[in-house]
Amino acid sequence: MYLSESSFLLVGELQTGGFVGFATFELRFRDGLPLEKGKYPGQRPRTETSEGIIRDYDIAVKMRDGVNIYVDLFRPEQPGEYPVLLAWAPYGKHGRIKYSYFPHCGVCDSDLSSLAAFEAADPRYWCAHGYGVMYADPRGAWGSEGDLTLLGPQEAQDCYDLIEWTGVQPWCNGKVGMHGVSYLAWSQWKAAALNPPHLAAINPWEGVSDFYRELAFHGGIPETAFLPMWLPSVSFSKTRVEDLVRMAQEHPLFDEYWQSKNADLSQITVPCFAVASWADHGLHARGTLEAFKQIASKEKWLLIHGRKKWENFYQNAERQRQFFDMFLKSKQTEVRFWPKVLLETRERYYLGNFRPETDWPPPQTRYESLFLDANTGEMGWQKASVEAEARYSTGSGAAGATWVQFDHRWEHKVELTGNMKLKLWVEASDADDMDLFVAVQKIDRSGEIVPFQFLGNHEDGPVALGWLRVSHRELDPERSTPAQPVHSHLREEKLKPGEVVPVEIEIWPSGTLFHENEILRIVIQGKDIYTYPHDMNTNAHTVTVNRGDHVIHTGGRFDSHLLIPVMAESIPE
């Protein structure tokens, strides 16, 4: 439970998310959670040496405004100057969160050293290979001074200051890298956009880059499960913490508050090895791929997999080291021969093949339209000449169907890799708005839904997901492409009674192989299609605007269709 709330007016210069200027918004705070509830050991500045590692605990580092934050440093016992890998997140440098909290995540705590913090580099491995590892408690987190804000301009500035302090210490060779998963990746976008001189390379492993679109509001629909579950883990503070739930309630549109949390990715020039997962729909999948497209780094590589993110992170330590050895130690490594993009095409849960690509999205992508036909429930290459409608109910206890689906059976093997777009002509029978939920599924030859890895620890997920609140259907003309609609989320456009409107739904990217006689299926309904208990590290949208029936119009005047990214070499002419 939070203890109390307060607020203040934030006025500051923004150079984030394409917005440059001055932001004025009221930032809400609540008192932090008691540190003892997070098993905080207290501040005990000390140096210990064991198993070849020097361990400096609770080093005070002064920020430019005089506020002290505290870090732990692990470095090789042998004297020397070493590159340092920085992990920045408010989860607690003392390693409060354990992987045992997440069943089936693929990581056992016993596989890591007792020094390892959540989603971060393990000092046992990295110190043995000539690196220092630093864990930071950001401003306001745990024992660090100040108020805790989440991924805003202040946090980015503090990370900059810590990088620059680290780079000139006698135990550092002058080169700092950033490393880690999720929040630890997200913070890399923020810090790297400021270009601290001692930041030599980043390795963001599955991190959001657009807080509004990828976490807080999917398609404009508020997320109601992951955020409430996650926020307590980033709320341990002696002072105050940003009240993100309250801020989301007060800022339902993409305004200056949300812009302040997005890095100006075009300013990032540091070498980057980015990693994304097809499995992280509703969290990190979109953000990492969007960031890779937008960063200006001349030396950048992308790995896309369909595996469990934490398991994959620790299994790839050698690949990570090849990257950091090149840019933090000036070694000539195998990175020189890496393809720019290495991606996995999935067939089902933990079955897939990796292949190289020259860029993201793959330049040989051919976009094709599959037209929906409400008469048959199928999708085909030709638009039906006869108009038809598919209807489903969004009310609880409804007697009629609560979803609709459209199938396309493949006559040959085909690979679909990239973003899909679903264009629908829709109507609400009893409401002035609609929340649409879309899942892409693969159906095998026996008619069974093929399972895929989903988020950190689920093994029965979809090919891909998409969402849209219809009043948020307005597109951002500068960012949208024919294959990927990007909604502006700047205003609401309510429906009039009986009005039929076209909407374009962004389906998050995926990479999937279909064989002959397998089916590509689209499911559309008025609530989440994949649901799990809310403590299982998944997202949900339990508060919708839906009432009555939703109607989807197809054929004739209504070109409702699914735009699919076909790998050109995988489909016959």
Instruction: List pLDDT tens digits, range 350-380.
Output: 999 999 999 999 999 999 999 999 999 999 9
- Per-residue pLDDT at 13: 34
Asked whether 435 and 425 are in contact (CB, 8 A), the reply is no
Q: Are residues 184 and 88 in the same domain?
A: yes
Which residue would you say has higher pLDDT here, 398 or 380? Answer: 380
Q: So what's the pLDDT on residue 25? A: 87
In this structure, are 506 and 379 located in the same domain?
A: yes
- Cα distance between residue 107 and residue 326, in whole Å: 28
Strand partners, 426: 501, 552
* CA atoms within a 13 Å half-sphere pointing along the CA-CB vector of 556: 9
- Split at pLDDT 50, 70, 90, the class of 16 is very low
Q: Is the dihedral of CA 23, 467, 278, 234 positive or negative?
A: positive
Burial of residue 454 (CB within 10 Å: 0-12, 13-18, 19+) is buried
Decide which of 316, 335, 354 is a domain's last residue.
Answer: 335
> Who contacts 481 (Cβ-Cβ below 8 Å, separation ≥6)?
none
Residue 463, domain member (yes or no): yes
Residue with tokens 């629908």: 424
Work out the mean pLDDT of the chain and round it to a whole number: 94
- CA-nearest of 304, 292, 301, 300 to 344 is 304
Residue 425: strand, helix, or coil = strand
SS3 35: helix
Residue 349 resides in a domain: no
- How long, in residues, is the chain? 573
Q: Quote the number of domains for the chain.
A: 2
Identify which of 233, 245, 228, 29 has the alpha carbon closest to the alpha carbon of residue 142. 233
Residue 89's nearest CA partner among 61, 126, 119, 116 is 119
Is the residue at 292 inside a domain? yes
Is pLDDT of 14 > 50?
no
Task: Kindly state whether residue 355 falls inside one of the protein's structural domains.
Answer: no
Residues 258 and 206 in one domain: yes
Residue 474 lies in a domain: yes
Give the per-residue pLDDT at 5: 36
Q: Judge if 250 and 399 occupy the same domain.
A: no
Distance set, CA 506 to CA 253, 278, 388, 494, 509 (Å): 18, 15, 24, 20, 9
Boundary (domain end) residue, out of 296, 314, 335? 335
Q: Domain span at residue 555?
A: 365-570
Q: What CATH number is given to the structural domain containing 416?
A: 2.60.120.260
Residue-by-residue DSSP string for 270-322: S-EEEEEETT-TTTTHHHHHHHHHH---SSEEEEEE-S-HHHHHHHTHHHHHH
For 420-443, the pLDDT digits (tens) are 999 999 999 999 999 999 999 999
Q: Is residue 47 part of a domain?
A: yes
CB neighbour list of residue 175: distance below 8 Å, 6 or more residues apart: 83, 84, 167, 198, 200, 201, 327, 328, 329
pLDDT at 457: 83
Q: What beta strand segments (E) does 410-463 contain? A: 414-428, 435-443, 452-454, 458-461
Mean per-residue pLDDT, 204-230: 96
pTM exceeds cut of 0.85: yes
Question: What is the Cβ-side half-sphere exposure of residue 234, based on CA atoms within 13 angstroms?
Answer: 23
152-203 pLDDT, tens digit each? 999 999 999 999 999 999 999 999 999 999 999 999 999 999 999 999 999 9
pLDDT at 12: 35
- Who contacts 485 (Cβ-Cβ below 8 Å, separation ≥6)? 421, 475, 504, 505, 506
Distance from C-alpha of 73 to C-alpha of 361, rounded to nearest angstrom: 39
Q: Is residue 358 part of a domain?
A: no
